[in-house]
Structure 1
């Protein structure tokens, strides 16, 4: 199971063009920026391994996108319980997002999104987000709940691989926290 989770993370990341995940040893070799990064090289903190770095680079856009979708749910959901749940989840994700940004800064990663425009598990495509935004109240709730469940499920899979294959202690701690919070959110979502 451990190997499967790690393979899923690396496939998700390397399949999306993350040069960090594909790097043999970012701790020992300065990574070369891609076209989306600055023209200068950056130094990666050796406390982080490639799995840590790839996860950070994936979770920031995943959280960015989910916060956007949660904002829609706070305004458009027909069920007041769904709106309240979206507000609760958004508060936790904003705090989590800040932790990811701090980890990215500490790690030495550049500010970039190597996953922009990719169709990945746990992330809606831009056309799906637009369609969700145009949904009527009755159609909105089940579509939102389906996509939120996919995000929560995928976040657990990715975080599990960090707890086993990550290197940085703070990153591993965040991953363990995400596994716990996402499991609780899945139970709450199922009860809506």
Structure 2
């Protein structure tokens, strides 16, 4: 009888250990590798180059913008979207999917894949060649359109995605960028 109870206890410990290992994938950041679908992959693979373009535009503001408000907003955009790019890249690697390779000005074929809100190469060159108040107006107008595209993509992920972390990021992107759109519209009025 003692031997039977010992074997039973050992089996119980083994079963609990296996259950604990199985549950780790569903918690926190580990869930990025657990469950995902095509919508999650499309979201990450599309949002990375979309964010990269926004960061590229935001970097221009440091030397081209005329107002502290535009420079501060651009710095905030860059600070938020840089880490999000890294997060989505980690997810794609964990999912065994391709991570889009972006680049600096001219390295990306802007707007070629029909993503909402993406600027063309000509738009980007025009923005880079402007400065002062003209840059501020162009930057705000283009970034509003760019953010509206990101919000549209984030809503699609929330409706169609499966991965909890990707859906949570989509909600954050929608909230953050909707708030920034309101700020940019106010700046355009002033």
Q: Same fold (TM over 0.5)?
A: yes
Q: Which portions of structure 1, spanning 4 or more consecutive aligned residues, are displaced by more than 3 angstroms? A: 112-117
Asked if the contact 2:109/2:121 (under 8 Å) is kept, the reply is no
Q: Does 1:74 align with 2:62?
A: yes
Q: For 1:50, which of 17, 35, 38 is the aligned residue?
A: 38
- Measure, in 2, the Cα distance between the counterparts of 1:75 and 1:130: 15
Structure 2 runs not aligned, ≥5 long: 1-32, 103-107
- Provide Cα deviations, 1:141-172, integer angstroms capped at 9, x if missing partner: 11111110011111111111111110111111
- The corresponding residue for 2:117 is 122
1:104 equivalent among 58, 75, 92: 92
Contact 2:49/2:100 (8 A) holds in 1: no
Aligned length: 148
Q: Which residue of 2 aligns with 1:177?
A: 172
RMSD (Å), alpha carbons: 1.9
- Per the TM alignment, residue 76 of structure 1 is displaced from its structure 2 partner at its CA by 0.6
Is 2:163 aligned against 1:168? Answer: yes
Does structure 1 conserve the Cα–Cα contact (< 8 Å) formed by 2:66 and 2:136?
yes
Structure 1 match to 2:146: 151
Runs (5+) with no aligned partner, structure 1: 1-44
- In 2, the alpha carbon distance for the partners of 1:87 and 1:46 equals 34
Q: Secondary structure at the match of 2:69?
A: helix
Indicate if the aligned counterparts of 1:57 and 1:113 stay in contact, CA closer than 8 A. no
Q: Which has the larger radius of gyration?
A: 2
Separation in 1, partners of 2:168, 2:128 = 34
1:51-70 deviation per Cα after TM superposition (whole angstroms, max 9, x unaligned): 11111111111111111110
Cα drift, residue 116 of structure 1: 4.1
Q: Which residue of 2 aligns with 1:134?
A: 129
d(CA) in 2 for partners of 1:152 and 1:170?
Answer: 21
* 8 Å Cα contact 1:160-1:179 kept in structure 2: yes
1: CA distance, partners of 2:86 / 2:113: 24
Inter-partner Cα distance in structure 2 for 1:143 and 1:80:
16
Counterpart Cα distance in 1 of 2:56 and 2:160: 30
When residues 64 and 164 of structure 1 are mapped into structure 2, their CA distance, relative to the original with a 3 A threshold, is same
CA contact (8 A) 1:119 1:125 kept: no
Q: What is the TM-score with the length of structure 1 in the denominator?
A: 0.71
TM-aligned CA deviation for residue 140 of structure 1: 0.8
